[in-house]
């Protein structure tokens, strides 16, 4: 298989994103923990503004469960995974048996590269009789990053039986196939994801990336243009071409 190191690193980052931002104070669904908030699809300026607002709210009330989870997610979105872990460690102290906090903590640990610790947290949360779909999703993402893609896909499939129609699960399944260079399968799952509830701009951008990596540049550009301002479209197109160069896929595309 051709080297995919840089592309896989990018896909690993995307694996932890892609779920809808839920309102502060949202209640857990009857299917388990509440979906983890995602701020990764925001423009940089908006991200920083949101982070500042959440930092102020966290400073004002560091025991507010929803603020803890959202503040940590916003920190991860700007690359501050160690700080997100620290925030959630405080959250674990305040809410030692809370599933939402535990899943968010595991997600932050995975984002920080602390995979085995994340798996330990998740295994303490996931009940065999009534597994939480969001915990399964995060465990799948963690296993994908360890290269255990087959195990990860089994968990995503299990999560879909618990929460059918959840875009984040289908999207991660697609990214899992992308990580093993199975791009048609990746595209199939991401196309399903964009039609589901909770589909975000980030998921649609992920689909654009997979389309672009198959050499369909006009289609890829149109997808990005529907989500991003022109300068970001051009930046993303340059990134797609750079990934293709690093993966030595040009000959495969031209001869395909």
How does pLDDT run across 168-222, given as a tens digit for each residue? 999 999 999 999 999 999 999 999 999 998 898 889 999 999 999 999 999 999 9
Q: Residue written as tokens 């009534």?
A: 130
Q: Which residues pair with 166 in a beta bridge?
A: 197
99 sits in the region (left: phi over 0; alpha: psi -120 to 50; else beta) called alpha
Q: Which residues pair with 197 in a beta bridge?
A: 166
Position 252 scores a pLDDT of 47
Residues 91, 178: Cα–Cα separation, whole Å: 34
pTM over 0.85: no
Position 46 scores a pLDDT of 76
Position 47 scores a pLDDT of 76
Position 198 scores a pLDDT of 83
Question: For the chain, which ranges sit under pLDDT 70?
Answer: 1-36, 41-44, 247-256
Residues 223, 168: Cα–Cα separation, whole Å: 19
Position 154 scores a pLDDT of 97
Position 49 scores a pLDDT of 86
- DSSP result, 174-218: HHHHHHTT-HHHHHHHHHHHTTSBT--HHHHHHHHHHHHHTT-HH
Q: Which residues pair with 204 in a beta bridge?
A: none
CATH fold of the domain at 5-250: 1.25.40
Residues 201, 44: Cα–Cα separation, whole Å: 14
Asked if residue 218 lies in contact with residue 30, where contact means CB atoms within 8 angstroms, the answer is no
Position 256 scores a pLDDT of 44
Domain boundaries, the chain: 5-250
Position 16 scores a pLDDT of 54
Which residues have C-beta within 8 Å of that of residue 15, sequence separation ≥ 6? 141, 144, 145, 172, 175, 176, 179
Residues 182, 176: Cα–Cα separation, whole Å: 9
């Amino acid at each position: 298989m051709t080297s995919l190191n840089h592309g896989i690193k990018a896909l690993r980052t995307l694996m932890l994103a892609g779920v809808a931002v839920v309102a502060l104070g949202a209640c857990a669904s009857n299917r388990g923990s509440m979906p983890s908030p995602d701020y990764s699809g925001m423009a940089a300026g908006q991200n920083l503004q949101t982070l500042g607002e959440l930092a102020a709210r966290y400073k004002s009330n560091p025991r507010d469960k929803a603020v803890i989870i959202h503040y940590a997610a916003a920190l991860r979105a700007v690359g501050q995974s160690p700080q997100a872990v620290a925030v959630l460690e405080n959250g674990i102290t305040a809410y030692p048996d809370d599933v939402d906090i535990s899943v968010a903590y595991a997600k932050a640990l995975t984002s920080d590269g602390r995979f085995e610790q994340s798996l330990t947290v998740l295994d303490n949360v996931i009940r065999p009789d009534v597994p939480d779909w969001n915990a399964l999703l995060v465990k799948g993402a963690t296993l994908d990053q360890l290269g255990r893609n087959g195990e990860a896909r089994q968990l995503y499939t299990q999560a879909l039986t618990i929460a059918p129609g959840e875009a984040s699960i289908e999207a991660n399944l697609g990214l899992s196939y992308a990580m093993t260079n199975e791009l048609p399968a990746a595209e199939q799952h991401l196309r399903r994801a964009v039609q589901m509830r909770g589909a975000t701009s980030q998921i649609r951008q992920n689909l654009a990336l997979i389309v672009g990596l198959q050499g369909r540049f006009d289609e890829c550009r149109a997808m990005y243009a529907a989500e991003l301002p022109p300068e970001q479209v051009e930046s993303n197109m340059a990134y797609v071409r750079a990934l293709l160069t690093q993966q030595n896929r040009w000959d495969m595309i031209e001869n395909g």
